[in-house]
Structure 1
Amino acid sequence: MFPIHRPRRLRSHPQLRRMVRETVLTTSDLIYPLFAVPGSGVSKEVKSMPGVYQLSVDKIVLEAKEVYDLGIPAIILFGIPDSKDTDATGAWHHCGIVQEAATAVKEAVPELIVIADTCLCEYTSHGHCGYLELGDLTGRVLNDPTLELLQKTAVSQAKAGVDIIAPSGMMDGFVQAIRSGLDAAGYTEIPILSYAAKYASAYYGPFRDAAESSPQFGDRRTYQMDPGNSREALKEIGLDISEGADMLMVKPALAYMDIIWRVKEASNLPVAAYNVSGEYSMVKAAALNGWINEQQVVLETLTSFKRAGADLILTYHAKDAARWLNQG
């Protein structure tokens, strides 16, 4: 009881606070998303995401070098093809934009880990994450035929040099399909980072500008999770673990830290949190208006994800955060 117990004693000096800090954010916790587009010399800023760009492969390589020099261990690649179709050809073709970017990055920065987002929405003409029933305008994806496309895409990405496959379409059985496809093709050592608990969130808006992946009709609520559900997340991660997932993702992060915590408590696998585009854009907008201290808010937010249980954090703030962390 007071005055014997005085918790402020351990807050009295900056070095003492540092010594007893329970959660420490480092550059090794960060993964930087990049958007690859066809062409050369392309660097097109995403209007709703200040500081984020669609980049041609040559520019992706320069970004990869900068990321590695900052101490960030990994990037995740998203692709915007020059044409789209109902078979998502750009996702699995050996000349796909993610495949080209992955090969170029691994040649230029071999020690950098390259993760591929393994989904189809950026590559389908309708903007949904797989095959649709002919004439269906509800956005109801045909699950099992889509698994074949995801399997082809994952194998193609592995052949291109990708280090980690990250399926994000929330199809039932997608981890098992991808694992069996990778193993059959000889890629038994390639791990799967599953978007195990991906919610149908309003926070994805700016990303769809960046990836040009907005659905042409309907929505994605028939395959992404209801924001009101938490027990369902545990069911999803249990299924993905049983199918061979090596790591688990919770997306989004900011409004779902309770889910990050529950997933971490329920699993022994590494847990990733995706600090998504809407979360990023809100901070950027407030900072540009002078309403917040961007550095302090970003580092506090990223630390909170780690405190909630995240081992890895995918964030568009990664380069800025790494610079601030490196500066102490």
Structure 2
Amino acid sequence: MAYPIVRNRRLRGSAGLRGLVRETQLDAEDFMMPIFITEGEGVREEISSMPGVYHWSLDTMERELAELTEAGVRSVMVFGVPDRKDALGTSAYDDNGIAQRAIRKMKALYPELVVAADNCLCQYTDHGHCGVVHTTECGAEIDNDESLELLARTAVSQARAGADIIAPSNMMDGFVLAIRKALDEAGFESVPIMSYSVKYSSAYYGPFREAAHSAPQFGDRKTYQMDPANAREALREAQSDIDEGADFLMVKPALAYLDVIRMLRDRYALPIVAYNVSAEYSMVKAAAKMGWIDEKAIVLETLIGMKRAGADLIITYHAKDAARWLRGD
């Protein structure tokens, strides 16, 4: 049957009706907030390309955690920003490294807060790449298997500090298996892995590299991060991570890859994570500052779109604001 028997507008006639049939709901517990922790004291330094996002030192981060938890955000992703870098990223797996100290303090202050630890070497290496670099006759190359050993050591150190989730973002082949094996052997069988399974070599990461001080000093990351043109490859990456023991599958970035989120949602039963990345955030902030858009409306529509596409969890720099807006603040 068709019009005039069928009138789809009947279910849109009031806010009550629209709410009654709404298919997708956003909640503050859907959000995970990235947080950048740096060395020093008294640090609360706004990141110039990400208005409203800060570098925090260990003594000031409680302010941010208090505001997040008060808003209803129940999870954070920790990024350490060290003051010491070297070729092997040794501070990444130092039990007294900045990320490890931050995790311990977060869990002491807020035991119920879910703390995920980003697992990569890029912000800890002096060359800015996500693995061990060797120079050959053909130029500089990332040694996949040697990198796995260091990433596994980092994961164990993060778990030992109290991380609830290990979130490896390095895109080395076999990284989930190496980390799962290392965690299990160290007695952390219950710590889940939130794999950055589908991570594209994207132009949307620019502001993050300022935030994490992680821009590569030469070349790019196209030999290990995915080509933005490829979608079927995402299924191969996700399947590999499932076979190796991943507990979550992440797509990064989110906004330009909603089709990929939907592909994973339709195919796999694991929780799907969307990373609403730095440039996605910064573009909204810039347009809002100019008065061109309604920031609240744009943010909530974007986040509902990611959830509608299939995301169970959204990592987003908008987390605190979005949580407050959802409760009517």
Shorter-chain TM band: over 0.9
Q: Judging changes above 3 Å, is the alpha-carbon distance between structure 1 residues 135 and 97 closer, same or farther for their aligned structure 2 residues?
A: farther
Alpha-carbon offset, residue 134 of structure 1 = 2.7
In structure 2, how many angstroms separate the alpha carbons of the residues matched to 1:266 and 1:212?
36
Q: Which amino acid aligns with 2:166?
A: I
Q: Which amino acid aligns with 1:225?
A: M
Q: What is the SS of the residue equivalent to 1:305?
A: helix
The 5-angstrom pairing of residues 90-105 of structure 1 reads 90-105=91-106
Q: Identity percentage over the alignment?
A: 58
Alignment check: 8 A CA contact 2:135 2:141 kept: no
Q: Judging changes above 3 Å, is the alpha-carbon distance between structure 1 residues 246 and 218 closer, same or farther for their aligned structure 2 residues?
A: same
In structure 1, how many angstroms separate the alpha carbons of the residues matched to 2:289 and 2:139?
38
In structure 1, how many angstroms separate the alpha carbons of the residues matched to 2:50 and 2:70?
23
In structure 2, how many angstroms separate the alpha carbons of the residues matched to 1:15 and 1:127?
52
Alignment check: 8 A CA contact 1:260 1:271 kept: yes
- 2:233 maps to 1:232: yes
In structure 1, how many angstroms separate the alpha carbons of the residues matched to 2:139 and 2:320?
39
Consecutive unaligned residues of structure 1, counting only runs of 5 or more, are none
Q: Judging changes above 3 Å, is the alpha-carbon distance between structure 1 residues 113 and 136 closer, same or farther for their aligned structure 2 residues?
A: farther
Alignment check: 8 A CA contact 2:107 2:113 kept: yes
State how many pairs are aligned. 328
- 2:288 maps to 1:287: yes
Q: What corresponds to 1:190 in structure 2?
A: 191
- 2:132 maps to 1:131: yes
Alignment check: 8 A CA contact 1:139 1:219 kept: no
Alpha-carbon offset, residue 326 of structure 1 = 1.1
Q: What corresponds to 1:264 in structure 2?
A: 265
Q: What corresponds to 1:76 in structure 2?
A: 77
Deviations 1:165-220 (A, max 9, x none): 00000000000000000000000000000000000000000000000000000000
In structure 2, how many angstroms separate the alpha carbons of the residues matched to 1:148 and 1:300?
41
Q: What corresponds to 1:159 in structure 2?
A: 160
Alignment check: 8 A CA contact 1:46 1:54 kept: yes
TM-score by length of 2: 0.98
Instruction: State which drifts further: 181-190 or 53-62.
Output: 53-62
Instruction: State which drifts further: 114-123 or 1-10.
Output: 1-10
- 2:56 maps to 1:65: no
Q: What corresponds to 2:87 in structure 1?
A: 86
Q: What is the SS of the residue equivalent to 2:311?
A: coil
Alpha-carbon offset, residue 124 of structure 1 = 0.2
Alpha-carbon offset, residue 281 of structure 1 = 0.4
Alpha-carbon offset, residue 65 of structure 1 = 2.2
Q: What corresponds to 1:216 in structure 2?
A: 217
In structure 1, how many angstroms separate the alpha carbons of the residues matched to 2:138 and 2:66?
43
Instruction: State which drifts further: 11-20 or 58-67.
Output: 58-67
Q: What corresponds to 1:113 in structure 2?
A: 114
Q: What corresponds to 2:249 in structure 1?
A: 248
Instruction: State which drifts further: 62-71 or 15-24.
Output: 62-71
In structure 1, how many angstroms separate the alpha carbons of the residues matched to 2:263 and 2:41?
44
In structure 2, how many angstroms separate the alpha carbons of the residues matched to 1:289 and 1:59?
31
Consecutive unaligned residues of structure 2, counting only runs of 5 or more, are none
Q: Which amino acid aligns with 2:199?
A: K
In structure 2, how many angstroms separate the alpha carbons of the residues matched to 1:84 and 1:137?
25
The 5-angstrom pairing of residues 3-22 of structure 1 reads 3-22=4-23
Q: Which amino acid aligns with 2:147?
A: T
Q: Judging changes above 3 Å, is the alpha-carbon distance between structure 1 residues 54 and 142 closer, same or farther for their aligned structure 2 residues?
A: same
Alignment check: 8 A CA contact 1:42 1:56 kept: yes
In structure 2, how many angstroms separate the alpha carbons of the residues matched to 1:65 and 1:159?
24
Instruction: State which drifts further: 291-300 or 55-64.
Output: 55-64
Q: What is the SS of the residue equivalent to 1:140?
A: strand
Alpha-carbon offset, residue 140 of structure 1 = 3.0
Q: What is the SS of the residue equivalent to 1:319?
A: helix
